Amino acid sequence: SQQGEEDPQALSIQEGENATMNCSYKTSINNLQWYRQNSGRGLVHLILIRSNEREKHSGRLRVTLDTSKKSSSLLITASRAADTASYFCATATWGGGATNKLIFGTGTLLAVQP
Amino acid sequence: KAGVTQTPRYLIKTRGQQVTLSCSPISGHRSVSWYQQTPGQGLQFLFEYFSETQRNKGNFPGRFSGRQFSNSRSEMNVSTLELGDSALYLCASSLDTGVGSPLHFGNGTRLTVT
């Protein structure tokens, strides 16, 4: 089952523009993670933001988390053609032991045109 | 450090056969998780192993099984293959069990069932 729903499903922008992707989820979480996947390859971890954090930065990436709205956003600034990939949010919930889960969203396909 | 290695990269099998996929985690990582990725269902969690013990399991039939060895290497097995098992199978390792640490993914095994 999917916990996170990402919006938009697909996004096409020009190099140099900013890209914003949103993730909404349904249940309380302990942390939220963003991953990137290039076509047909494995996922690469980008950022982990804990439930008590509101914003986090890593290079050209900025992630926000609003637990009251159960939503997160990923902003990529000054995009490059190499940023073309699918981006997934993943919500982490744990209650101990076998209930630990990392559930991935549906993904946003980002295309950056040179 | 070498990344997560999955073998084989591609596999073609016939309905009714069984298949074994292999995953070597990053050195020092004791947790290995498996995911199935399909266009229709997205990324679905299969199971997680930590120190040779299955710690968590997703909602897949018993035909899907796995194990972890003392060196943290993991295998997953799918018996009595069905057409719907065609997917990209991703293995991910992390330092600790649970979902507090980022996952490091391999490039996957592309399984095609004919």
Rounded Cα distance, A89 and A6, in Å:
8
The whole-angstrom distance between residue B29's C-alpha and the CA centroid of its chain comes to: 15
In 10 A of CB A101, how many CB atoms? 21
Average pLDDT over residues B54-65: 93
**Under 8 Å between Cβ of A70 and A24:** yes
Any bridge partners for residue A72, and if so which? A23, A65
pLDDT at B104 over 60: yes
- Residue of A34, A37, A43 to mutate, interface with B, max B Cβ within 10 Å: A43
Task: Report the pLDDT value the prediction gives residue B80, as an integer from 0 to 100.
Answer: 97
Contacts of A94 in chain B (CB under 8 A): 98-100
Cα–Cα nearest to B77, from B18, B36, B7, B35: B18
Average pLDDT over residues A70-96: 92
pLDDT, tens digit, for every residue of A87-99? 999 998 876 554 5
Confidence band of A100 (pLDDT split at 50, 70, 90): low
Rounded Cα distance, B59 and B80, in Å:
17
Mean pLDDT (chain A) is 91
Listing DSSP states for B24-81 in one string gives EPPTT--EEEEEEEETTTEEEEEEEEETTEEEEE-S--TTEEEEE-TTS-EEEEE-S-
Residue A59 contacts B where some CB pair is shorter than 8 Å: no
Which of A4-8, A44-48, B67-71, B91-95 shows the lowest per-residue confidence on average (mean pLDDT)? Answer: A4-8
Q: Do A40 and B110 touch (CB under 8 A)?
A: yes
Smallest CA–CA separation between A98 and chain B, in Å? 5
**Local structure of residue A83 (DSSP, 8 states):** G
| SS3 label, residue B19 | strand
Task: Report the pLDDT value the prediction gives residue A97, as an integer from 0 to 100.
Answer: 53
Q: Do A101 and B42 touch (CB under 8 A)?
A: no
pLDDT, tens digit, for every residue of A19-30? 999 999 998 898
Angle at A45 between CA B109 and CA A100, to 5 degrees: 85
